[in-house]
Structure 1
Amino acid sequence: MPFVSIGGVTLHHRYRPAAGNARPIIFINSLGTDFRIWDEVVSALDGEMPTLVYDKRGHGLSDIGGINSIDDHVDDLCDLVDHFGLGKVVLCGLSVGGLIAQGFYARRPEGVEGLILSDTAHKIGTADSWNTRIATVESKGIQEIADGVLKMWFTPAFHTARSAELDGYWNMLTRQALAGYAGTCAAIRDADFTEAARRIAVPTLCIVGDQDGSTPPALVRSLADLVPGARFEVIRDAGHIPCVEQPELLTALIRDFVASLADGKQIHG
């Protein structure tokens, strides 16, 4: 399994190069998951464009590390980009991954070709809601909130028809490191990219599942409205994690967006 230690943090990752001149696309996973949530999307894009997935700090097989803010996650992403010498990239971030993508752009706008912000926002939740979640998991464990979280992650149809997968994602969530989960909750709580979103000057695609219970369509739409010229798309029959529930639809949107970058088309919502 590929690991790299940079900046004192060991990160688990998978990089797939591709022939041609396509920009690399980096996928950044959501709170309580690891990079396997992108498997179907990345497999479908294999050979079309270079792809990089990684377990953000505190998740999956990466180091737990000290997580004090979104900047810690942004640091790791910057280090990975530098390690692979990727130059300009397309960032595809889901939920907190979208906050990390926005943070990376705010720090290195010259290093971003385009942004795909999936089921995320400029600001997610309230201080009270995140403090309550942190207190709950620290006192009772992640399993205490797992059933409720999965109701936001996936549609009722997924719960009914794909029960074995649902069990697997329950396992993924509850087996994350508590310190990494709680630390990232605090990072989300304190992150606010409202003003930064107004200054995004690269093509941006904002995507949301129509039944997302965590970052509902209206919230993601509010992010798209902040970003000049952003395109907004709703994926039908999907909750908070369309890359698991509707990977074909998400992959089609990604292909179209990346093709528009290569063609120099303007993206407008």
Structure 2
Amino acid sequence: MKMAELGGRRLHYRDDGTGAPVVFANSLGTDLRLWDAVLPHLPEGLRIIRYDKRGHGLSDCSKGPYKMGELVSDVEALLDHLEVREAVFVGLSIGGMIAQGLATKRPDLVRAMVLSNTGAKIGTREMWGDRIAAVEKGGIAALADPILERWFSAGFRRTDAFHAWRNMLLRQPVEGYLGCCHAIAGSDFYATTAALRLPTLGIAGSEDGSTPPDLVRETTELVPGSAFEILRGAGHLPCVEKPEDYAGKLTAFLRAQGHV
């Protein structure tokens, strides 16, 4: 386990391999294990960097609410700490919003991005306000079942592996979960993402109830020349349900950028 001290905050991260860097950012309510099943199917010769965002996993859980700019600054500081430049940044859900923010703020850090199951804007302030109120009253468990229905297809919810993901969600710090809910609620990247000019791949799950394919496609198409893929039979976390297919889409994109 590695911890980076970044100006008074500590982020847990993994830094594996050497070569061209690929950075992975997780969804709300998950930690860096989100990508475990994908990594064995990626080509050799990559430097794989994963991290737990603020308030998640083993990273520090500072008092919320958080702003998206803070989450972007966290990974910016981590990549500077690791002396990383020109990475391909893969972000899922809130991780995809972080990707958009980082690519806008620090184009030297991001040469290409993968926007997975995300949007330039996700939901409404009212929707997030309702979720925040429900979690404040009853904890994450109060919303766990509807959240997991959006995360995973019906078939995956009948597997043994599903219960591990349910436990991961329930064990996230409530303060960190709520902090990131506030960050999503206050974010709208439509204008800034439309100004980006870098290779971009969008990935959606056909059964995604949190960021439906049309939202992911709309966001991806803000960037001229972008590509878009749908993984059939997968929900909000296709890297969990369809890891080989997900890795195949990602590998093809990496090869197209000369990053492998």
Could you say which TM-score interval applies, normalised by the shorter chain? over 0.9
Show the 5 A alignment for 1:25-36.
25-36=22-33
Distance 2:218 2:39 in 1: 28
Aligned length: 259
Show the 5 A alignment for 1:145-156.
145-156=143-154
**99, 110, 113: which one pairs with 2:111?**
113
Distance 1:227 1:88 in 2: 18
Unaligned segments of structure 2, at least 5 residues: none
Q: Which residue of 2 aligns with 1:246?
A: 242
Q: Which residue of 1 aligns with 2:195?
A: 199
Helix, strand or coil: the match of 2:91?
strand
Runs ≥4 residues deviating over 4 A = none
Helix, strand or coil: the match of 2:221?
helix
Paired residues of 1:92 and 1:118 also in contact (CA < 8 A): yes
Give CA deviations for 1:86-131 in whole Å, capped at 9, x if unaligned.
Answer: 1111100000000000010110123211000100010000011000
Paired residue type of 2:37: E
Unaligned segments of structure 1, at least 5 residues: 264-269
Paired residue type of 2:154: P
Distance 2:141 2:76 in 1: 32
Paired residues of 1:16 and 1:46 also in contact (CA < 8 A): no
**106, 111, 123: which one pairs with 2:121?**
123
Distance 1:224 1:100 in 2: 14
**2:176 pairs with 1:176:** no
Helix, strand or coil: the match of 2:230?
strand
Paired residue type of 1:103: G
Paired residue type of 2:45: E
Show the 5 A alignment for 1:51-130.
51-67=48-64, 68-130=66-128
- The Cα shift of 1:46 comes to 6.5
Paired residues of 1:7 and 1:76 also in contact (CA < 8 A): no
Instruction: Decide which moves more: 175-184 or 220-229.
Output: 220-229
- The Cα shift of 1:229 comes to 1.1
Distance 1:175 1:167 in 2: 12
Change (3 A) 1:182 1:54: same
Distance 1:110 1:169 in 2: 34
Paired residues of 2:115 and 2:220 also in contact (CA < 8 A): no
Distance 1:43 1:261 in 2: 20
Give CA deviations for 1:123-147 in whole Å, capped at 9, x if unaligned.
Answer: 0000110000000001110000001
Distance 1:151 1:260 in 2: 34
Distance 2:7 2:96 in 1: 22
Q: Which residue of 2 aligns with 1:132?
A: 130
Q: CA RMSD in A?
A: 1.4
TM-score (norm 2): 0.96
- The Cα shift of 1:203 comes to 0.3
**2:242 pairs with 1:228:** no
